[in-house]
Homo-oligomer: A and B are copies of this chain.
Amino acid sequence: MDAKEIIRELAQAARGAAGVLAGSRGAQRDEALRSCAEAIRAGKDRLQAENEKDLARAGELGLTEAMIDRLRLTDARIEAMAVGLEEIAAQTDPVGQAICAYNRPNGLRIEKRRCPIGVIGIVYESRPNVTADAAGLCLKSANACILRGGKEAIHSNLAIAAVLREGLAGANLPAECVTVLESTDRAMVPAMATAEGLIDLIIPRGGESLIRAVAEAATIPVIKHYNGVCHVYVHADADLKMAEKIVLNAKCQRPGVCNAAETLLVDAAVAQAFLPGAAEALRRNKVELRGCEKSRALVPDMKTAAEDDWRAEYLDLILAVRVVDGLEAAVEHINTYGSKHTDAIITGNLVAAERFVTAVDSASVMVNASTRFSDGAQYGLGAEIGISTDKLHARGPMGAEDLTTYKWIVTGAGHIRE
């Protein structure tokens, strides 16, 4: 069978499971999630044995030390997968919620009711725990899922899927609720992305090239998760001590993640008062600074930023620094060079904050808070499937609710149109 046929067959089975899930009660899905958590704990030895097979091939596949570390299923990571599923089980059920409901003048009752999307395809790389997280969120929202992880984690991913299917059986749900592709053939990804009528949505998670490949092949809807070029803008009316604390946190607390700050914009009005001290504090935290000419006039031993630095996602202890002439210039910089992920303003001025919030075209806009808060758990969504950089359907951190759609339910008493 070629890739398209394999996907058709698996997706048809998944659609059957999706039909069962659509009619299931929340209690049954939560029971399945807890049952999956138990199966993961009980299957620890098997999971680690399969994980060893992946680790043994890591050198031959040319994985870096960091990638090998992320691949490893330690005791703690296996327990974390189980706890993650239990936490998803404890969340509110998004299915069946009324988004709104009202009567029309003619007596028709209209309800916009949340329901599952159907079959969701997820394409990801490296970390095998994504398999459990993604399957758990799809199950919570009553969707069947087809998961395609990287070839470097294929044994681990298949072992996790086998364990999850035991968990599903424990709650009397079909195994086809969760499918991990056995084949690591590259042709599977475009086959998934063009499975119209079979897969309802595809979510790529990983590097930019993976996401771009999915978006270009896709004829079904895609929700993209590009990375973050996040800004902190220190406004003229900022509390400068607060600003320094937030810049340090946004850059240094965890520099390798998408919601870490990459560029600092400083209002010209406070550049002299703010920048030399902030630069010193950043350097004490081992941050390399790359500045515009005006920044370098205030902090002379800073490297010169090139045009590319304004677009860079360093994911490292490097920060681009630019002095801007006021709020509109900051907005212009962010909307030109940013990635519409997360951007912050530090200000005590309410009008400035409101203008920034309206004008910055990003998924999350922070006022007097670190960009690092841009995260599903921090927003109270529970586990997240990712942080969407798209504007359609779901934007920013995506939780189980964002894996639902809605249907219009119209109830009459024999109503006809005149």
State A416–B346 Cα separation when bound (angstroms).
12
A353-B412 Cα distance, complex, nearest whole Å: 12
| Complex interface: chain B residues within 8 A of A411 (CB) | 353, 366-369
Specify which chain B residues have a CB less than 8 angstroms from the CB of A397 in the assembled complex: 408
Query: Shortest Cβ distance from A97 into chain B, in angstroms?
Result: 12
Of the candidate stretches A55-63, A166-174, A372-380, the one touching chain B is A372-380
Q: If the complex has contacts A23-B358, A373-B417, A392-B201, are A365 and B412 also in contact, measured as CB distance less than 8 A?
A: no
Pair A364/B405 contact, Cβ less than 8 Å: no
Can you list 17 A-B contacts (CB < 8 A)?
A19-B335, A22-B361, A110-B379, A110-B380, A221-B390, A248-B416, A249-B416, A250-B416, A253-B417, A353-B411, A366-B412, A368-B413, A370-B412, A370-B415, A373-B410, A373-B417, A392-B392
Q: Does A10 contact B (CB under 8 A)?
A: no
Tell me if A357 is interfacial: C-beta within 8 Å of chain B: yes
How large, as a class, is the contact surface on chain A?
35 or more
Q: A395-B405, A415-B368, A417-B370 are in contact. Are A359 and B118 (CB under 8 A)?
A: no
- Once A23-B359, A117-B391, A417-B253 are accepted as A-B contacts, the answer to whether A374 and B408 lie under 8 Å apart by CB is yes
> What 6 pairs between A and B have smallest CB-CB spacing?
A369-B412, A249-B416, A242-B414, A393-B393, A369-B415, A221-B392
Determine if A128 is an interface residue (Cβ-Cβ < 8 Å). no
Given contacts A359-B22, A391-B200, contact A372 B245 (CB under 8 A): no
Q: A380-B102, A415-B373 are in contact. Are A410 and B108 (CB under 8 A)?
A: no
A363 touching B408 in the complex, CB below 8 Å, given contacts A245-B416, A380-B110: yes
Nearest CB of B to A214, in Å: 10
**Bound CA–CA A361/B408 (angstroms):** 11
A239 CB within 8 Å of chain B? yes
A365 touching B415, Cβ below 8 Å: no
Closest to A259 in B: B417
Instruction: Give CA–CA (A46, B416) in the complex, Å.
Output: 40
Copy total for this chain: 2
Does any Cβ of B come within 8 Å of A186's Cβ? no
Are B364 and A414 neighbours in the complex by a CB distance under 8 Å?
Answer: no
CB distance from A281 to the nearest CB of B (A): 13
A121 at the interface (CB under 8 A from B): no
In the complex, which residues of chain B have a beta carbon less than 8 angstroms from the beta carbon of A357?
113, 407, 409
The reply to whether B391 and A408 form a contact with Cβ atoms under 8 Å apart is: no
Quick one: given A359-B23, A413-B368, A414-B246, are A395 and B391 in contact (CB under 8 Å)? no
Alpha-carbon gap, A372 to B115, bound state (A): 23
A179-207 contacts to B (CB < 8 Å): 200-201
- Additional 4 contacts, C-beta under 8 A, given A365-B409, A373-B410: A246-B415, A357-B409, A364-B410, A369-B410
Encoded as 1 (CB less than 8 Å from any B CB) or 0, chain A from 235 to 267 comes to 000010010011011100100000000000000
Knowing A216-B219, A369-B108, A412-B369 are in contact, say whether A405-B391 is a contact too (CB < 8 A): yes
Chain A residues numbered 283-336 whose CB sits less than 8 Å from any CB in chain B? 335
Listed in ascending order, the chain A residues whose CB lies under 8 Å from chain B are 19, 22-23, 102, 104, 108, 110, 113, 115, 117-118, 200-201, 215-216, 218-219, 221-223, 239, 242, 245-246, 248-250, 253, 335, 353, 355, 357-359, 361-370, 372-374, 378-380, 390-393, 395-397, 405-417
**Residues B372 and A417 in contact, CB atoms below 8 Å apart:** yes
Contact call A416/B246, Cβ cutoff below 8 A: yes
Name which residue of chain B comes closest to A335, CB basis.
B19
Enumerate chain B residues within 8 angstroms of A250, measured Cβ to Cβ.
Answer: 416
Q: A23-B358, A415-B373 are in contact. Are A365 and B221 (CB under 8 A)?
A: no
Q: What chain B residues lie within 8 Å of A364 (beta carbons)?
A: 407-410
- CB of B219 within 8 A of CB of A221, answer no
